[in-house]
A and B are shown apart, each in its own frame.
Chain A
C-alpha cells in the first residue's frame, strides 16, 4: 500500500530536483560560463566576443582607477571595522545591563538594518550637507562646519559612519547572543583572582566570544568589498575618487564605458581577493574554544 506511493514520491522528488537544476543551469551556470568567456574576450555587448587572451588582465592591472578602488576598500575598512566593532560591542554590553525595554532598544537599532539603502542614503546626504542640520548645529555651538561629504579626506569617513549606523544593531545582537552564552562561573573565578575589569574584558570576555567576533569581522569585510548603493547615492564615488569603491568601478566599466569583459575580470579579482582576506583573518584570529 505504502510502497507504490513512495515510488511515486521519489519520481516527484526527482522532478522537483530536475526543475531546480534546470533553473540553475539557466540563471546560474550559463552566466558563469559567460563570466569566463567575457574575462578573456574583447566585447562591447553588441558584436560577437573576440578572444583576446590576457589583454583584459593587462588592462585591469594597469587601470589606476581599479587600484584606487582597492585602496579605498582599505581606507573604508580602516574606519569602518574599528568603529563598528567597538560600537557593536558597547551596544551588546549596554543591552546586557539594560533592565527594561531590551526589545524596544534593539528594535530601534535594527530598524536601521532593515531600512532602504536608497532612502537613507538620500537622508544622510541632506543631513550631512553643507547647510544641513548637523553643520548648522556645529556652527551654532562651536562656530565651524565640517565638509562631511565634500572633502576628499572626510567623505570616506562619513560613508563609513552611515554604514556603521546601519549595521550596529545587527552586529550588536550577534555579540549579545555570544555574551549571554558565557558561563557566569568564569566571571566568579576571575573575580576570585582579583582580575581588573580591563583584564576580565581582554582575557575572559573577548576570547569567549571569538566565534562571534570572527563572524562579524567576516561580515564587515564582505560589506567593504560589496557596498554600492551608499557611495553611488551619497558621493557618486567622489570627491576626487576618494569614495570610488570597486563595485562602482565595475558598474562604470561595464555599463558606462561598455567594457564588460574588463568589468567581469574585475569581479573575479575582487571575489578572489575578498576570499583571501577572509581566509587570512580566520587563520590569524580564529581560536578553537575549549572550556575545561
Chain B
C-alpha cells in the first residue's frame, strides 16, 4: 500500500514538476521574443507615443514605413535602394557560394588528381585562422583594385567560401561512388552529376550552406561599413546605422528600418526551420 502510495506521489510530483517546467519554458520563449514584439509595435506607432504607451496601445499606422521610403529620400537616406542593394549582394554571394562550393567539393572528394591532399590541408588551415586578421589587408587589396564604393567590394571577396567547400565536401564524401559510375555510364557531364545527383542527394547540407551564407551576408556590417561610403551603394544594415546616428531621435522610423532589416531573415528562418535545426545539430559534433 505504502509502496503504491509512493509511486503515485512520485508520479504526481513528476507531472506537477513538468507542468512547472513547461510553463517556465514557454514564458521564457515569449520573453526571448519580447525585443521583436516591441520592435514591431514601436515601428507602427508615432514616435511620441512609443515610450509612454503600453506595448499594445496607441495609434497604430504604417506612417513610419511611409516616412522611411518617401521622405527619407529627401534626407539623403534611400532606404528602398538600400533594400535592393542588400538583396542583390546577398543573393549574388549565396548563389556563387553554392555554385563554387559544389564544384570544388566534388573535385576534392570524387576526382583523383595530384595535390589532392595538400588542398584539403590548406582548406583546414584556412578555416582555423581568425577572420579579423584579414579585414584591414583586404581593404588594402580592394583599394588597390580601385573597387572602394562598388558592389564588387562587397561581392568579390565572398564569391568562394572555405566553410561552404568544407561542409559540402564532408557531405559528398559519404555519397557512394556507385551512383557516380552509373551516371558516368549514362554519359552525364560533371555539372549534371553535381547538380542533378550530388546536390539532391545531399539536400540538407546544401540548404544549410545556402541559408547560413544568406543570413551571414545579409547581416554583415563591419565590412560594408568599411568599404562603402556612398549612400546609394550601401546595404540596408549600414544605411540603417548611419540613419540612426544622425536621426536617432526618430525612434519610430528607426524601428521600422529594423523591422525591414530583420524581416527577410525571419521569413527564411520560419520557412526553412527544419534545415536550420539540422544545421545547428550538425555542427554539434
Say if the beta carbon of B151 comes within 8 Å of chain A: no
Say if the beta carbon of A103 comes within 8 Å of chain B: yes
B273's nearest neighbour on chain A, judged by CB, is A107
Say if the beta carbon of B72 comes within 8 Å of chain A: no
Say if the beta carbon of B201 comes within 8 Å of chain A: no
Q: Which among B140, B141, B156 has the highest number of chain A CB atoms within 10 Å?
A: B140
- Bound together, the chains give a CA A13 to CA B194 distance in angstroms of 13
A5's nearest neighbour on chain B, judged by CB, is B184
Which residues in B have their C-beta under 8 angstroms from that of A31?
134, 137-138, 140-141
- Sorting the interface of chain B by its residue count into under 10, 10 to 19, 20 to 34 or 35 or more gives 35 or more
For the residues of A in contact with B, the DSSP-based class is helix
B35's nearest neighbour on chain A, judged by CB, is A123
Count of residues in A whose CB is under 8 Å from the partner chain: 88
Say if the beta carbon of B114 comes within 8 Å of chain A: yes
A252-292 contacts to B, CB under 8 A, are: 254-255, 260, 263-264, 267-268, 270-271, 274-275
B-to-A contact residues, CB < 8 Å = 17-18, 21-22, 24-26, 28-30, 32-33, 35-36, 38-39, 42, 50-52, 55, 100, 103-104, 106-108, 111-116, 119, 122, 126, 129-141, 143, 156-157, 159-160, 165, 184-185, 190, 215, 218-219, 221-222, 226, 237-238, 240-241, 244, 251, 254-255, 257-259, 261-262, 265-266, 269, 273, 276-277, 280-281, 284
Which residues in B have their C-beta under 8 angstroms from that of A26?
141
A166 to chain B, nearest CB (A): 10
A-to-B contact residues, CB < 8 Å = 2, 5, 9-10, 12-14, 16-17, 20-21, 23-24, 26-28, 30-35, 38, 45, 91, 94-95, 97-101, 103-112, 114-120, 122-124, 126-127, 131-133, 136, 165, 168-170, 173-174, 177-178, 212, 222, 225-226, 228-229, 232-233, 247, 250-251, 254-255, 260, 263-264, 267-268, 270-271, 274-275
A10 touches B240 (CB 8 A): no
A111 touches B218 (CB 8 A): no
Q: If the complex has contacts A20-B119, A106-B277, are A94 and B24 also in contact, measured as CB distance less than 8 A?
A: yes
